[in-house]
């Protein structure tokens, strides 16, 4: 098995598309939160930036594994961030240190 190679512009594209996927997911989460918590509208910009950064990395990695597929990168950026956020919520609800 060989690891597919991506040119520099391809990697940049995968990072960008992964970040876009993560941004879409984050914006949907923010809208959902704002709708459910109409009294307390607390926005954490650091959390948003971290989420987009992680989704960019996940998207680039997944896209590179799938021979530079930008579609996979976008989906992985979207779904990967959701997966990590779900793990965080589970850990927090169990009372474990974050």
The pLDDT tens digits for 56-77 are: 888 888 888 877 788 888 888 8
Q: What pLDDT is stored for residue 69 in this prediction?
A: 80
Token duo for residue 91: 């850990």
Please indicate, yes or no, if residue 77 is contained in any of the structural domains: yes
- Tell me the H-state helices in 1-98: 8-36, 45-65, 70-93
Q: State which residues form the domain around 51.
A: 8-38+45-93
**Which are the contacts of 68, defined by CB distance < 8 A and separation ≥ 6?**
4, 6, 10, 14
How many domains is the chain built from?
1
In a domain, 76, yes or no: yes
Instruction: Determine how many CB atoms are found less than 10 A away from the CB of residue 45.
Output: 7
Q: Is residue 89 part of a domain?
A: yes
User: Per the domain annotation, does 50 fall within a domain?
Assistant: yes
**What pTM did the predictor assign?**
0.70
């Amino acid at each position: 098995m060989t690891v597919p190679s991506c040119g520099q512009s391809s990697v940049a594209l995968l990072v960008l598309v992964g970040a876009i996927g993560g941004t879409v997911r984050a914006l949907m989460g923010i809208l959902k939160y704002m709708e459910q918590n109409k009294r307390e509208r607390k926005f954490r910009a650091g959390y948003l930036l971290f989420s987009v950064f992680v989704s960019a990395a996940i998207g680039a990695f997944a896209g590179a594994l799938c021979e530079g597929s930008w579609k996979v990168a976008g989906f992985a950026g979207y779904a990967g961030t959701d997966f990590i956020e779900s793990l965080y919520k589970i850990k927090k609800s169990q009372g474990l240190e974050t």
